[in-house]
Amino acid sequence: MPPLIIAHRGDSAHRPENTFASFMSAFEVGAQLVEFDVQLTRDGHVVVIHDHTVDRTTNGHGDVREMTLAEIRALSAGYPSRFGGDWAGERVPTLQETLAFLRGRARAMIEIKKDSVTGDGAGGVEARTVAEVRRQGMEKEVAFLSFDSRALLRCREQAPEIARGQLFYREDLDRVFLAAQTIAAEIVMPEKGMLSPQLRERARETGIKVGTWVVDDPAELKALESLDLFGVGTNCPGVLIEALL
């Protein structure tokens, strides 16, 4: 079975990442699974943005964690350094808005950024993200991702019914599967440079699904066929979906 194509921050090669424009474009090219990132504002709102600052993808400057939602919403999220003024009307969406936008259109993988993980387990980014998913009734339509095991342990404690997956970059295989066991992960998502037949066999033995990121080239996707991947994160979902047809 071919891997699921995961729209990484939406159709992010062609639209400003983590915006409604990017998500809509992903729907239009046939993506059924969208990945996006969440950070926590100073006033406790979960917002959809990758970096812990607004500098790269908006027309503003500042640390998301030190800004209010109103301050962030006043900015354009049109990624002006990359797209100029073409998408100047885009704004940083909240998690609430994003889940409502995706419901009925696509499933979601929500990456909890380690920048926003704090010592506040009861009221931090994890608890607020779990609460919003439940408010939207989307427990079966989302999975939580993170590089941060602490965040995923909290998700396991607070929402054991919601799937979890851990992200890895250049980690030892023993570390990958120990971490997966600790959080009771259904999915591990090592960066593509970590993929190997050995990883595939370990995953088969433990019954864990394997995904990877970021693959934008159909030839590279073809080369990964033998590794039994559950899903592949890509900035070009339309290109890879077409390659699988």
What average pLDDT is seen over the chain? 97
Per the structure, how many domains does the chain have? Answer: 1
pLDDT at residue number 92: 98
- 31 pLDDT more than 90: yes
State pLDDT tens for residues 134-193.
999 999 999 999 999 999 999 999 999 999 999 999 999 999 999 999 999 999 999 999
State pLDDT tens for residues 99-140.
999 999 999 999 999 999 999 999 999 999 999 999 999 999
- Residues of the chain with pLDDT > 70: what percent? 100
- Residue at 71 is within a domain: no
- 200 pLDDT more than 90: yes
Residue among 14, 50, 52, 61 flagged as catalytic: 50
DSSP letters for the chain: -PPEEEEETTTTTTS-TTSHHHHHHHHHTT--EEEEEEEE-TTS-EEE-SSSBSTTTSS--SBGGGS-HHHHHTS--S-HHHHTTTTTT--PPBHHHHHHHHTTT-EEEEEE-GGG--S-TTTSHHHHHHHHHHHTT-TTTEEEEES-HHHHHHHHHH-TTSEEEEEESS--HHHHHHHHHHHT-SEEEEBGGG--HHHHHHHHHHT-EEEEB----HHHHHHTGGG--SEEEES-HHHHHHHH-
- Domain at 117, CATH number: 3.20.20.190
pLDDT at residue number 1: 86
Measured between alpha carbons, how far is 71 from 64 in angstroms, rounded to an integer? 9
- Residues of the chain with pLDDT > 90: what percent? 99
State pLDDT tens for residues 7-18.
999 999 999 999
Residue among 8, 14, 45, 61 flagged as catalytic: 8
- Residue at 220 is within a domain: yes
Whether 52 is a known active-site residue: answer: no
- Residue at 114 is within a domain: yes
- Residue at 118 is within a domain: yes
**Parent domain of 171:** 4-14+27-37+95-244
Measured between alpha carbons, how far is 236 from 52 in angstroms, rounded to an integer? 24
pLDDT at residue number 43: 98
Whether 50 is a known active-site residue: answer: yes
